[in-house]
Amino acid sequence: MLPLEGRSQSIFIVTTIFLGVSFIAVCLRCFVRIRLVKAFGWDDTLMVCAMLMNILFALCGITGSLYGMGQKLDTLIERGTMETAMFWWWLGQTSYVWTCALAKLSIASALLRLTVSKAHRLILWGVIGVTCIVGLVFWFMLTLQCQPVEFFWQRVRPYTDPKANVSGTCMKLDDIITIAYVYSITATLCDLTLGLLPIALVWNLQMNLRTKAALAGILGLGCIASAAVIIRIPFLHDYKDPDFLYATASISIWSNVEAGLGIAAGSLVTLRPLFRWFRDPTSMGGSKSKTKRTAGSMPLSSMNGVQSSTSNPQYWRPDLDREDHPTVITTIHTSNESDTSRTSSQEDLNPTNGGTFFQGVNVQKTFYVSEDQTS
């Protein structure tokens, strides 16, 4: 291992910081979704997978910096760690692609749950499709740019061992840079789309402008990663620099920033229940007190399979007098009974086939008819 100094130290520090930030954000997200909200969805699963890939990506950056990523060529030749550093650089970049792609897919999946407009859904599915296709192309390019694959890091062996006999071929650097530019531009557009689309989602909601702006800002945090991608674009030409590990240090740094910001920002969107829980721990599943019914409200029976405890129409409508008005009372409740046990007064809104058991919703109607007596 080499001492941490210069660009190697920068890689180590930045990678460690953004690994910690993203890891804490995902842990808090899991706590909110599992413990408080109790609704762990596909977007959460994708973000956890992105975090696992980010851990691998960060470990590659941290280990690579200890073996010479960010160091000058002369130092690497002298210490004999260049081949090891090249291996960690290669493995890190291949895991970086999946880290960012999974984070984008998670954010897009979360927005899909909030979208009702067909046009918006098509846009989100377009982002998902482009992210998958471009990500796969870039990943294959990074992984298979040399044949055999190990030639990528073994090709530097003659620097430390002039007698080494290593053979293989690699893609032209101009082609690699072109694909990297296409990937970066596409990633930026996808990030901006995921960040700006929430503005359209909340624009027609019935709320004041301040609330709309706050909600759009929270949902749009996912586009923060695009800033790191834009900053990294001018450094892509460093792929052609003969002093590869030293010149590409900026690419490694900003790739870690992009991955960490994308995961952290995408997870912060889900943490609003956590702030409510901090203010009132009993508000998120900790309180067993009954909710008071406001004036004029019309309660439904509980959804636990138990019918409402009262059939008195004045319980539902205190403004009606049973003696003076004909009344129709509709009670909605669930049932765990089989089809054969239902009575004709129950109307199943979730029918099942045959005699299978079901968890459905039934409607029970009770009629009260007054008699009009005439002399």
pTM above 0.75, yes or no: no
Q: Using an 8 Å Cβ cutoff, are 279 and 40 in contact?
A: no
For the chain, list residues with pLDDT below 70. Answer: 219, 222, 282-375
Instruction: Output the pLDDT for position 353.
Output: 44
pLDDT at 16: 96
Give the pLDDT of residue 318.
42
348 three-state secondary structure: strand
Q: Rounded to an integer, what distance in angstroms lies between the CA atom of residue 136 and that of residue 98?
A: 9
Segment holding 146, helix H or strand E: strand 146-147
pLDDT at 274: 82
In the prediction, which pLDDT does 276 show?
A: 80
Give the model's pLDDT for residue 361.
53
- Radius of gyration of the chain measured on its C-alpha atoms: 30
Alpha-carbon distance 4 to 9, whole Å? 5
pLDDT at 357: 42
Percent helix, strand, coil in the chain, to 5, is: 65, 5, 30
8 A C-beta contact, residue 362 and residue 334: yes
Per-residue pLDDT tens over the stretch 264-292: 988 888 888 887 887 777 655 544 444 44
Longest distance between any two alpha carbons in the chain, whole Å: 123
pLDDT the model gives residue 63: 95
pLDDT digits (tens, 9 = 90+) for 14-66: 999 999 999 999 999 999 999 888 888 898 999 999 999 999 999 999 999 99
**Alpha carbons 196 and 193: distance in angstroms, whole number:** 5
Predicted pLDDT at 284? 58
Distance CA 94, CA 259 (A): 13
Helices (H), 161-279: 173-203, 209-219, 225-232, 244-247, 249-268, 272-279
pLDDT tens sequence across 296-322? 444 433 334 444 444 444 444 344 444
Domains plus CATH for the chain?
Answer: 6-281 (1.20.1070), 313-368 (no CATH)
